[in-house]
């Protein structure tokens, strides 16, 4: 009986031990299971708190064009600028201006030594006076006294010839009678012939005096006077060229030499820049000339100052180096601060026809191979998640860009804080300040919830 009781106790203890062991095993297994489940729930809650981020969004609207501001560079030029010099060589003896001086048209600027020219001019004037006196004598003809003397000479020779002819008649009668020799007759005959020749000369002289000077002689003398006048005029031109005068009103920009210098013909002595409204010369591509009509107004920037300018002309030739046409503009307004050779920039706004969307630069996300993308917010039930859209940037304008790509009208783009986001991430749109990014025919409006 005792043995049976021990066996029963032993079996009962074994069952209890197994039960206790089973309970302990279950307890050991259950504790980490519960702990794992608790940790998992905590991890999900923590992850959810980290990934659901607040974001500001912009609803995009499609635009059909955008404006591009182009700057074309040129320079300020004076309407006239001249390197002034002498047309003849000589010694520079006088300078009447200095750099920065304002001169009016016709003002004497510098002079050469002209003493040798003045001496030549005086000699020519004396020769001219002599030629004029001869011409006057020829034009006035012989004096009355000369004519009277010529007439008296003709009368005297006539009387002498008549006397010799009477003598000759008598000698011929005596010779025929043999009273005189042949020699005496020939002598008286020769004398009569000589008087006849002298009388003919005297009569011609008298006729010449009575008729006056021949026209050919007068014209020849007039030509001599005119030749002297031309020589004097040539000297006067050379004397005048010995003085540099301002061809237009302006400012002396440079003085290249001083008194005492021997100047060569054509050597630059001073540079004169016209003191008038400056002009702007700018080269532009041929394709935009249709937008630059003569008389149209444009904006020109000189340094940090912007001026209104009017297109006054377009040069007909293309620059072979730059393949541009030169346009000339006249500045308006206060131009006192503008200097010649200063850089000027013409601002032209051109409209480019292209469909796309305006986005702030903060909405861009750098993608692969130099491309760009953005994040859009997609609503799924009561949740919002991020999707990526690939973009092509067509134009940049300060803090905004004009893009095209896989965006659609009305989609909500994350406007900033994109560095915190990844595709498929859960987000929560929040209310933000209203923001607009405007372009021609487009706008992006903040529609954050």
CA–CA separation, 161 and 193 (whole Å): 8
Closest to 357 measured CA to CA, from 399, 405, 389, 397: 405
Q: What are phi and psi of 242, to 5 degrees?
A: -80, 0
Strand order in the sheet with 108-112: 243-245, 108-112, 90-95, 262-263
Q: Up-side HSE of residue 430: CA atoms within 13 Å toward CB?
A: 8
Give the whole-angstrom CA distance, residue 334 versus residue 343: 17
pLDDT at residue 35 in the model = 40
* Unique residue bearing structure tokens 């998640």: 385
Q: What is the pLDDT along the chain (449 residues), one digit of tens a residue?
A: 333 333 333 444 344 433 334 434 333 334 343 344 334 344 434 444 456 899 999 999 999 999 888 889 999 888 788 999 999 999 999 999 999 899 999 999 999 999 999 999 999 999 999 999 988 887 776 677 777 888 888 888 888 888 888 887 877 777 787 777 777 777 777 888 888 888 888 888 777 766 666 778 888 999 999 999 999 999 999 999 999 999 998 889 899 999 999 999 999 999 998 877 778 999 998 888 888 889 988 889 888 888 888 999 999 998 888 889 999 998 887 666 777 788 999 988 888 889 999 999 999 998 887 789 999 999 988 899 999 999 999 998 889 999 999 898 989 999 988 888 888 889 988 754 443 444 443 433 333 33
- Give the per-residue pLDDT at 374: 94
Q: What is the pLDDT of residue 335?
A: 65
Angle among Cα 182, 187, 190 to the nearest 5 degrees reads 120
Is residue 404 within 8 Å of residue 391, measured between CB atoms?
Answer: yes
pLDDT at residue number 431: 57
pTM of the predicted model, to two decimals?
0.48
Measure the CA dihedral 274/275/277/280, to 10°.
Answer: 50
Provide the token pair at 32.
């980490």
């Amino acid at each position: 009986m005792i043995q049976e009781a021990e066996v029963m106790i032993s079996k009962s203890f074994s069952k209890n031990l197994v039960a206790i062991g089973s309970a302990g095993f279950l307890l050991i297994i259950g504790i980490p299971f519960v702990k794992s489940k608790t940790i998992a729930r905590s991890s999900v809650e923590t992850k959810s708190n980290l990934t659901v981020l607040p974001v500001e969004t912009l609803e995009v609207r499609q635009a059909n064009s955008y404006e591009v501001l182009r700057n074309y560079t040129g320079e300020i030029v004076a309407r006239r600028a001249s390197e002034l010099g002498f047309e003849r060589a000589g010694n520079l003896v006088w300078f009447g201006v200095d750099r920065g001086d304002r001169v009016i048209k016709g003002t004497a600027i510098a002079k050469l030594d002209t003493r040798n020219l003045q001496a030549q001019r005086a000699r020519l004037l004396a020769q001219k006076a002599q030629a004029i006196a001869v011409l006057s004598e020829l034009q006035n003809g012989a004096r009355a006294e000369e004519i009277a003397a010529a007439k008296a000479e003709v009368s005297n020779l006539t009387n002498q010839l008549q006397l010799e002819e009477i003598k000759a008649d008598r000698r011929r009668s005596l010779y025929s009678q043999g009273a005189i020799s042949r020699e005496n007759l020939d002598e008286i005959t020769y004398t009569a012939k000589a008087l006849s020749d002298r009388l003919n000369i005297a009569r011609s002289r008298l006729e010449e005096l009575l008729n006056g000077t021949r026209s050919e002689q007068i014209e020849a003398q007039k030509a001599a006077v005119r030749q002297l006048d031309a020589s004097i005029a040539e000297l006067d031109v050379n004397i005048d060229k010995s003085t540099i005068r301002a061809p237009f009103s302006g400012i002396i920009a440079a003085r290249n030499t001083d008194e005492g210098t021997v100047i060569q013909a054509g050597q630059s002595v001073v540079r004169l820049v016209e003191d008038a409204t400056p002009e702007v010369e700018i080269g532009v591509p041929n394709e935009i000339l249709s937008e630059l009509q003569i008389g149209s107004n444009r904006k020109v920037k000189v340094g940090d100052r912007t001026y209104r300018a009017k297109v006054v002309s377009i040069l007909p030739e293309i620059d072979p180096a730059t393949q541009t046409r030169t346009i000339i503009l006249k500045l308006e307004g206060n131009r006192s601060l503008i200097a010649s050779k200063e850089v000027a920039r013409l601002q032209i706004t051109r409209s480019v026809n292209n469909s796309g969307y305006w986005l702030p630069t903060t909405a861009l996300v750098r993608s692969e191979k130099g491309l760009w993308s953005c994040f859009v917010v997609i609503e799924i039930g009561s949740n919002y998640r991020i999707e990526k859209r690939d973009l092509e940037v067509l134009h940049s304008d300060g803090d905004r860009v004009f893009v095209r790509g896989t965006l659609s009208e009305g989609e909500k783009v994350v406007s900033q804080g994109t560095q915190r986001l990844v595709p498929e991430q859960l987000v929560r749109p929040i209310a933000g300040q209203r923001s607009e990014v405007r372009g021609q025919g487009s706008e992006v409006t903040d529609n954050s919830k």
